[in-house]
């Protein structure tokens, strides 16, 4: 019953498409002009997604090299083993039922030989051409039909073998065991193939969208728009079904259903307008990384503006770095015991293990904690505070509802609110609810748009802090303290929006956002937040560069580099893996098209446009406008060439950065590891230690000699 809306959406999209095809056919008959087809050199259609049985699949004809070689390796070993078994033990088959077993082995040897030849041909054909030139692989569909047809006798023979073995044939035990192994291997391969077919099945494979620039131009513009609307609705329904299956244990309340719909719409928007399969994206990312490194190696050295040690900019940077190192401990503590044990794999469990089994005491009640379990001990060890310093600890985790802690930091004379980052499926749904909504703020800023999911999460924490009297309790205990809001990743974004909401009641609130998402604030709010917020970004961290508009830019760059590459996909992936693991010269790798060798593909957007299924990158610019990170940005850059293994100690330099430096997603081995809070803490400790020239000298806005937070 749940698939009914999806089926209706697909049927509507299909009917609109059929109608548009009929209209196009009538136009051809009346005018005699046939629409331009989407052809590249060799007369092949630029359709990376393979078409079998009249529908598109989430696999391309050049994706079968590595799976084919793996199957070929297994089949050849299997064939040699069966042949050896038959040759060495055929004289021992003169037993009851031996004729059946002998016939089984002979037919299996012949069948395996035919399958090996077919798979070899599939591998050979799959190595031909390029991603955007599948012409040399046009015979692939016929070979796959033959290969799939061979599964029928293989299944039948495996079933007969199982039946004969079940009849307790009285023959040599070695022969019987060999045939049992053969039957088991046969069924393993058959079941594995069925699983792979299920994985690469595309629910929207039967729907084909008209192409804006390189494809057929339909006479009526209204019908293509209806088709695209139907396709988008069907794609959203498919993604929503997938998300519900993945997050089946999250819950079914109204907030969760809204998050499902928002996430499905975002994913369908990002991935339903290209004709790429997952391996194409992997190849494109590999090429982009090499191209990015090649540009970096060839560009002129940047002019470095040095400031004397006593300059105001350097003093301000030193002060904020010291603040970041101190408050990052609270942002890390908000993750609870999982991060603590991850950071201390040998001693962490011993230190917090007693708190996991200890019964709740009045100390826990004073902290206001619910369901703390092992968390409280890890928080104490991470922050170095005492239990009486905590006003509230909450690890309640739902969609749009984040865990947070409130503590009194006597060292800086601050009330610290730390919001946890992404740790659960509920948090991921909050991250992916990427529409924009207007913040209700008491400020003069006109454009007050922000990330919807993070805004909802910040509003939940605000209601708890103000509505439940948590902040009132904290400031009644320490009325002279100031308010500081911190968080990492999702928690950093929520902390920044929370600071906006609290600013009317607490004008001196300060925010430290560690690795916050880029797609958070409108340009006006970004500029406004520079008065009270600081963001810290490490290296090539992808999250501070991640937004819907940046994803669209990344997609266009992937399409461009794929269309301009003249190498087959398997070679791109092999060289890409070698480059990621061991490095090399990016100039020797296929990062752009050699126009002299292929003059018919030198148009810069020919292949790129052929891979798009619609011209507009975003269906609703008002829903996904450009968004920016919060506050002033400190960027910790790795010195020298980036190492490919995060186990080595890297050296970093710190500087103030502009938000435009994070307007593109950078590809590299550390784009994910640089986001990890433990790596960020190590880098921050290293930078602060290296920059510590005069520890006893107070700096404006930083920690003075007594460890207090100096005024701005």
Query: Out of 61, 272, 489, 547, which one is annotated catalytic?
Result: 489
Closest to 567 in 3D by CA, of 586, 584, 592, 585: 592
Compute the distance between CA of residue 532 and CA of residue 402 in angstroms, rounded to an integer: 22
- Assess whether 489 carries a catalytic annotation: yes
85-114 per-residue burial string, b: 16 or more CB within 10 A, e: under 16: bbeebeeebeeebbebbbebbeebbebbee
Task: Return left, alpha or beta for 368; rule: phi > 0 is left, psi -120 to 50 is alpha, else beta.
Answer: left
Cβ-based neighbour number of residue 68 at 10 Å = 21
Is the Cβ–Cβ distance between 131 and 283 less than 8 Å? yes
Residue carrying structure tokens 């078409």: 51
Is the Cβ–Cβ distance between 374 and 355 less than 8 Å? yes
- Assess whether 541 carries a catalytic annotation: yes
Compute the distance between CA of residue 35 and CA of residue 21 in angstroms, rounded to an integer: 11
Compute the distance between CA of residue 337 and CA of residue 371 in angstroms, rounded to an integer: 13
Reduced to 3 states (helix: H, G, I; strand: E, B; else coil), residue 335 is: coil
Cβ-based neighbour number of residue 699 at 10 Å = 20
**Residue-by-residue DSSP string for 645-698:** -TTSPP-EEEEEE-GGGGSSPPPSTHHHHTT-HHHHHHHHHHHHHHH-S-TTS-
Reduced to 3 states (helix: H, G, I; strand: E, B; else coil), residue 489 is: coil
Residue 237 is encoded by which pair of tokens? 């329904």
Residue carrying structure tokens 């092999």: 574
Compute the distance between CA of residue 503 and CA of residue 628 in angstroms, rounded to an integer: 20
CA 229 to chain centre: 26
CA angle 297, 303, 308 (to 5 degrees): 135
Task: State which H helix or E strand residue 58 sits in.
Answer: strand 55-60
Closest to 46 in 3D by CA, of 212, 275, 282: 275
Query: Out of 436, 541, 547, 674, which one is annotated catalytic?
Result: 541
511-547 per-residue burial string, b: 16 or more CB within 10 A, e: under 16: bbbbbbbbbbbbebbbebbeebbbbbbbbbbbbbbbb
Cα-Cα end-to-end distance for the chain:
61
Residue 293 is encoded by which pair of tokens? 């490194």
Compute the distance between CA of residue 526 and CA of residue 247 in angstroms, rounded to an integer: 33
Compute the distance between CA of residue 685 and CA of residue 701 in angstroms, rounded to an integer: 19
**How far from 506 is each of 103, 417, 444, CA to CA, in Å?**
87, 13, 17
Task: State which H helix or E strand residue 483 sits in.
Answer: strand 482-488
- Alpha helices, DSSP H only, in 201-277? 222-246, 254-271
Report strand pairing: 449-451 vs 49-52: unpaired
Closest to 387 in 3D by CA, of 365, 404, 402: 365
Catalytic residues: 489, 541
């Amino acid at each position: 019953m749940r698939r009914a809306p999806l089926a209706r959406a697909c049927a509507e999209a299909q009917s609109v498409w059929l109608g548009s095809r009929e209209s196009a056919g009538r136009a051809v008959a009346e005018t005699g002009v046939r629409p331009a087809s989407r052809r590249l050199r060799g007369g092949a259609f630029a359709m990376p997604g393979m078409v079998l049985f009249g529908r598109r699949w989430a696999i391309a004809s050049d994706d079968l090299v590595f799976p084919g070689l793996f199957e070929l390796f297994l089949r050849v070993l299997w064939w040699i083993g069966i042949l050896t078994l038959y040759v060495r033990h055929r004289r021992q088959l003169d037993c009851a039922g031996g004729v059946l077993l002998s016939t089984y082995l002979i037919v299996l040897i012949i069948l395996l030989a035919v399958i090996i030849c077919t798979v070899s041909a599939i591998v050979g054909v799959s190595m031909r051409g390029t991603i955007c030139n599948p012409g040399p692989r046009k015979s692939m569909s016929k070979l796959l039909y033959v290969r799939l047809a061979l599964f029928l006798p293989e299944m039948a023979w495996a079933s007969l073998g199982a039946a004969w073995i079940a009849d307790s044939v009285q023959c040599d035990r070695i022969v019987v065991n060999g045939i049992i192994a053969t039957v088991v291997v046969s069924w393993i391969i058959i079941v594995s193939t069925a699983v792979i077919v299920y994985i690469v099945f595309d629910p929207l494979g039967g729907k084909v969208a008209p192409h804006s620039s390189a494809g057929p131009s339909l006479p009526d513009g209204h019908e293509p728009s209806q088709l695209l609307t139907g396709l988008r609705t069907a794609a959203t329904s498919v993604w929503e079904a997938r998300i519900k299956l993945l997050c089946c244990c999250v819950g079914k309340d109204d907030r969760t259903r809204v998050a499902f719909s928002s996430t499905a719409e975002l994913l369908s928007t990002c991935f339903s307008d290209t004709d790429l399969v997952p391996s194409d994206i992997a190849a494109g990312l590999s090429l982009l990384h090499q191209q990015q490194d090649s540009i970096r190696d060839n560009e002129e050295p940047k002019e470095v503006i040095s400031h004397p040690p006593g300059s105001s900019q350097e003093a301000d940077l030193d002060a904020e770095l010291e603040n970041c190192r101190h408050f990052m401990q609270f942002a890390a503590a908000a993750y609870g015991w999982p991060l603590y044990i991850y950071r201390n794999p040998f001693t962490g469990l011993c230190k917090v293990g007693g708190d996991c089994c200890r019964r709740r005491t009045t100390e826990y009640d004073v902290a206001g904690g619910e369901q703390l379990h092992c968390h409280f001990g890890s928080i104490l060890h991470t922050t170095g505070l005492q239990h009486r310093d905590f006003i509230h600890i909450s690890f309640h985790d739902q969609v749009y509802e984040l865990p947070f802690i409130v503590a009194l930091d006597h060292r800086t004379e601050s009330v610290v609110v730390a919001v946890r980052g992404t740790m659960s499926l509920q948090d991921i749904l909050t991250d992916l609810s990427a529409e924009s909504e207007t913040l209700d703020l008491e400020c003069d800023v006109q454009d007050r748009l922000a990330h919807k999911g993070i805004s909802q999460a910040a509003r939940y924490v605000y209601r708890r802090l103000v509505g439940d009297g948590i902040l009132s309790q904290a400031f009644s205990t320490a009325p002279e303290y100031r308010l500081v809001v911190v968080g990492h990743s999702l928690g950093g974004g929520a902390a920044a929006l929370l600071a906006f909401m609290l600013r009317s009641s607490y004008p001196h609130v300060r925010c430290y956002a560690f690795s916050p998402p880029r797609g958070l604030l409108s340009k006006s709010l970004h500029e406004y937040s520079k008065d009270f917020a600081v963001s810290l970004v490490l290296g090539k961290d992808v999250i501070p560069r991640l937004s819907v508009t940046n994803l669209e830019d990344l997609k266009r760059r992937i399409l461009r580099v794929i269309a301009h590459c003249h190498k087959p996909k398997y070679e791109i992936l092999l060289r890409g893996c070698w480059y990621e693991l061991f490095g090399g010269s990016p100039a020797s790798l296929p990062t752009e098209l050699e126009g002299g060798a292929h003059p018919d593909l030198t148009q810069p957007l020919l292949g790129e446009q052929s891979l798009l299924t619609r011209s507009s990158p975003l269906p609703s610019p008002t829903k996904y406008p450009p968004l920016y990170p919060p506050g002033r940005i400190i960027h910790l850059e790795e010195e020298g060439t980036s190492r490919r293994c995060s186990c080595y100690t890297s050296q970093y330099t710190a500087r103030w950065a502009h938000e435009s430096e994070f307007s593109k997603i950078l590809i590299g081995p550390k784009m994910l590891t640089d986001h990890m809070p433990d790596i960020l803490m190590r880098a921050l400790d290293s930078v602060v230690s290296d920059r510590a020239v005069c520890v006893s000298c107070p700096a404006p806005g930083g920690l003075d000699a007594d460890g207090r937070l100096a005024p701005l």
